[in-house]
Amino acid sequence: MSTQLHSSSAITIRSLSKHYGGLAALDDFSLEVERGSIFGLLGPNGAGKTTLIRILTTLMRQSSGEVRVEGLDPRTHGREIRSLIGVVSQENSLDRYLTARENLELHARLHGMDAGRYRRRIDDLMELMGLSGRQHDLPESYSGGMQRRLVIVRALLHEPRLLFLDEPTTGLDPQSRRAVWEYISSIAGSMTIFLTTHYLEEAEHLCDRIAIMDHGRLIALGSSQELKDKLTGGTVYQIEFNDQVGRYAGLLGGMACVREMQVSGQTVCVGLESWECLSEVVTALNGASVRRISLKERTLEDVFMDLTGKGVRE
């Protein structure tokens, strides 16, 4: 395979596997990430997200399969890749003996930035993330959310072409999370962003494309809307009755176009094959005393739970 394969993609992953002893953390995983997009990777605890990011960011080698980052193979072009990427790892890895600003300056020098350029950039980014007032303090005196924002500033300092964010907003309060979202949205298009998250709302809000993985395997891929359309199995309507709910539930449950049904109190939720079935349902309900029929929007969280189940992971 040539190193320039799929140069239109920022990231190419082919049949990637990673074993820790007998455990397959990644299992025949393939994916393309388009340049300039915001890509979200979702999956329960232990799904393999961090393992994948470690391989892409040159911190770990795969057991088998191929990876290209900006056309480069991490096994042979680690140094080049590291100069092109910014990484926010799952754990904040800050030097505890240096102040926040010194942490950033060290990072800038390691990336060969000259002082004039990095000083200005540090000022701007610290201001943007609301950290200017605390820049001369040690990171351990920061709250968890401030440390997270500092790590994000550090990852952006050298103007990477590709930004990896492993759960960037875990532990952030809603204000800080929104600030990070706003920043990520504002730089969208200027670089490729690959993020993992447990916040489905975050993926929905930010990402052009979303992959859902579990047990090291890719199980779904598409835009948030595509995933919802494709995977929720048609549309769900909520029908509230004034009376005789049992009788009409029985009737609806026997209809061919009703895929699934749940009754709670006076309300019946029916999952239909497609929205066209609604007229059949309305005809069947002729004479019933219906208080309200409403469309129940499925969320990305519904899709996620359908695909990955309800069991708690490691």
Residue 51 interacts with ligand ATP (CB under 6 A)? yes
**Which partner in Mg ion, ligand ATP, none is near 286 (CB below 5 to 8 A by kind)?**
none
Q: Interface residues with Mg ion (CB under 5 A)? A: 49-50, 90
Residues 6+ apart with CB under 8 A from 274: 234, 235, 257
Give the whole-angstrom CA distance, residue 129 versus residue 156: 12
Residues 6+ apart with CB under 8 A from 74: 55, 56, 57, 58, 61, 67, 81
Q: CB of 169: closest distance to ligand ATP in angstroms?
A: 13
Q: Tell me, what amino acid is at 247?
A: R
Binding residue (CB under 6 A) for ligand ATP from 8, 45, 264, 286: 45
Binding residue (CB under 6 A) for ligand ATP from 15, 20, 110, 120: 20
Q: Nearer Cβ to ligand ATP, position 9 or 50?
A: 50
* Terminal Cα-to-Cα distance of the chain (whole angstroms): 37
Q: CB of 5: closest distance to ligand ATP in angstroms?
A: 25
Binding residue (CB under 6 A) for ligand ATP from 12, 40, 43, 73: 43
Give the whole-angstrom CA distance, residue 79 versus residue 56: 12
**Which partner in ligand ATP, Mg ion, none is near 46 (CB below 5 to 8 A by kind)?**
ligand ATP
**Which partner in Mg ion, ligand ATP, none is near 232 (CB below 5 to 8 A by kind)?**
none
Residue 25 interacts with ligand ATP (CB under 6 A)? yes
Question: Which of 297, 166, 175 has the alpha carbon at shortest distance from 232?
Answer: 297
Binding residue (CB under 6 A) for ligand ATP from 27, 33, 37, 48: 48
Q: Nearer Cβ to Mg ion, position 90 or 238?
A: 90
Give the whole-angstrom CA distance, residue 313 versus residue 47: 9
Binding residue (CB under 6 A) for ligand ATP from 46, 65, 171, 233: 46
Residue 49 interacts with ligand ATP (CB under 6 A)? yes
Q: CB of 249: closest distance to ligand ATP in angstroms?
A: 39
Q: Site for ligand ATP (CB under 6 A): how many residues?
A: 13
DSSP 8-state symbol, 7: T
* Beta strand spans in the chain (E): 9-20, 23-34, 38-42, 64-69, 85-88, 162-166, 192-196, 209-214, 217-222, 235-241, 258-264, 267-272, 290-296
Residue 286 interacts with ligand ATP (CB under 6 A)? no
